[in-house]
Structures are given as C-alpha cells and as structure tokens.
Amino acid sequence: MRKRWYIIYTISGLEDKVKSNIEKKVEFTGAVNIVGRVVVPEETILDATKKSLERHVLSPEAKVLVKSGNDVEKGQILAEEPPIHVRRDGVIEDIKNYRRITVETMDRKYQKIYNIPESAKVETGIKVGAVIRQGMPLAQSGEYYSELSGRIVNVERMKRVVVKVKDKSDDMYYIPREVFESSRIKKGVKVKAGELLADEKKYYAQSSGKVEVRDLGTRKEILISKTKKKKLFPGYVFVEMVMNDEAYSFVRGIPGVYGFLMEGRKPTPLKDREARAILRLAGLEEYETRRAEKIELDFNTGDTVKIISGPFEDFIGTVREIDPERQMLRVAVTILGRETPVELHISEVEKLE
C-alpha cells in the first residue's frame, strides 16, 4: 500500500514542535514503512517593519552577482567594483582621507558626487537618506555646498591618491578605504601604467532577504528587503503515511496531535494537485518558474487568474493586491477548503476572461 499525504491539526504555533515529535518517534521506532516525510509549509514575506531595507550603491561599471527576486543570506557576496589600475607612469605625491557624498534629486533624474576632504569636517547630518536643499552646507569649512535639492543616497570613506606624472600634471584616484593598502601605497613610490593600485571592492549582504537590482544609468543599486517566515496553514501539519489502524494510532498518539482532517469518519488524503503544491512549497519537489524582467502590467484587483508556474501551478485564484513597482500580485487561491493568499510575479499567471 503506497503512502499518501494527510493533514493533522494542532494548536497554531505548535506546528514545528509536532513535526519534530513525529520525526523523533519514527526514528526511534523505525516506523519508516508506515510514516514518511513531515512538512510544515511556510511562505517568505517581506518584513514591513522600519529599517527593513538594506541598500548598496554601485558605479555603472560594477559587476552585479545577484538578480532581482533572488533570496540571499547574510554574508553572501552581491557585487564587486572593478580593480583600480595606474593610468600613467609617475610618482605618488599625496595621500589624503576624503568623504564621497552622492546627492540625487527626488525624481532620480539627476545626481551630483562630491569628494570632500575629511579636514573640511563633513556636517554631522550628512548621512544616507537625509533630505538636503540646494545651497545647504556639506562641510563645516564653508567651501562645499549642495548644488541640488534631493536626498543623499551614498556616503563613502575614500583615500585620494595623487600621482605626479612626467609632464608635471596630476592623476587622481579615489580608492575605497576597505581596499586601500597603506603598506604598499606610500608617498614617493614610483608607479607604472597598468600597475594594480587597488583590488576590486566587494559588497556583501549585511542581512538575509530578497534582492532587487536597479540599473539607473549613472549608478546601480542593490536593495535587500528583509524577510521573515510565516506559516502558510496555521495549525496544520502534513504527513506522508500509509493509512491503516497501526499508522493512525502511531500518529494520533504523538504529543501535540489533536486529530486528522476527516471526511465523515475517515482521514482525508490530499488531492494530487494539492500534494504537489505542498511538496513544492517545502522544497521537496523542483519546479520551473517563469519570470520576465519587465512586462506590461494588465491586471486589476478582482481579476480571475490561472497560475502557470510555481508551487501552485494550475490553481485558479483571484487578484487581491497589486504592486506595480515590483510587478507582484497577491492572489487568493483555495486549497484544503480555505482561501490562501500567495505572492506571485505577473509572469507566473495568466488572466482568465
């Protein structure tokens, strides 16, 4: 007799504990012939709390190593700036600490980069996200003022290295402090064209979350929205088992199990389509997703759609929410007799007439 998937119920919040209890009892008794896999389906949702967004501002030349929609873990590499090489033969004449400040207009059409020496004493309120007006001072020295009204999108500590070349002109290099090597880059040192001045700067995720990559022409941005796990079916635990008296008693007697989802007096097995969705949500079955980079948004709340890829492929649902910027939909599908909201990219559904 083959195993099928059944639903047991418990108190909401005890799902993981019940899952653990079942798995431990199966391991201890060796009952793998009657009880198989145990699943508590979860969905990943964006954390809407404050300070849930991590931003990395990159140059247009930066190599981005992640894609929009990717899930990343804390410490994972995201991108790297190209290494810095010497342009012309010369001698390092000067090295000073600088602060690079990027100001962008609110409509994101224009931006201005300011390289300000630390000796000018950058104003304390100059930080990422701060709103600034045209004419406001950037440093206490009185020499540096914002030429734009907008928002500060990047503040970075740099080393300015001045190389005096043969024709007595200067080549200037701004090197991020993280990749500046003081033991190698010193005043009076001769450098040759093509010589490596600084290694590539690498960007790492400071938190786990979902990635969005933006190419804004004058720069690239990587945004990480922190995420959290949410039980998709609170109070439900899914068990793969052979349904007979022995297996029923085995599972029913586990602490935290309050019963099976029944139809009449018999436990009800999942339909094949429902079981497939549960396995995909749990990562136990692979599936292909169809996600275009950018497509026309032609959906309204209340539209009926068919899901064409992902865990809920072939399910019919109703559009409840639309996020035009992220091209995401919140779609309500009916599974196990209850309405369940799932988040989908618009390329993963098709509208039904």
Domain positions in the chain are 1-41+232-286, 53-226, 287-353
pTM across the whole model: 0.60
pLDDT tens-place string over residues 195-232: 999 999 999 999 888 888 988 888 899 989 887 788 88
Can you give the pLDDT at residue 49? Answer: 59
Q: CA torsion, points 144, 148, 152, 157, in degrees to nearest 10?
A: -30
* Per-residue confidence (pLDDT) for residue 291, from 0 to 100: 53
pLDDT at 80: 96
Closest-CA residue to 278 (of 251, 307, 238): 238
| Cβ 239 vs Cβ 6: under 8 Å | yes
pLDDT of residue 48: 57
Write b or e for each residue in 154-176: b if 16 or more Cβ atoms lie within 10 A of its Cβ, otherwise e.
Answer: bbbebbbbbbebeeeeebebebb
DSSP class of 305: E
Give the helix ranges, DSSP H, for 189-270.
245-252
Q: ∠175-102-215 over CA atoms, to 5°?
A: 90
Question: What's the confidence (pLDDT) of residue 145?
Answer: 96
The CATH architecture of the domain made up of 1-41+232-286 is 2-Layer Sandwich (3.30)
**Of all residues in the chain, what percent carry a pLDDT higher than 90?**
60
CATH of domain 287-353: 2.30.30.30
The tens place of each residue's pLDDT in the chain, 353 residues long, gives 789 999 999 999 999 999 999 999 999 999 999 999 999 988 777 765 555 678 898 999 999 999 887 889 999 999 999 999 999 999 999 999 999 999 999 988 888 999 999 999 999 999 988 999 999 999 999 999 999 999 998 999 999 999 999 988 999 999 999 999 999 899 999 999 999 999 999 999 998 888 889 888 888 999 898 877 888 889 999 999 999 999 999 999 999 999 999 888 899 999 888 888 888 877 777 766 655 555 557 788 999 999 988 888 889 999 999 888 777 889 999 887 778 888 888 888 998 87
Task: Give the pLDDT confidence score for residue 299 in this predicted structure.
Answer: 86
CB distance 237 to 12 below 8 Å: no
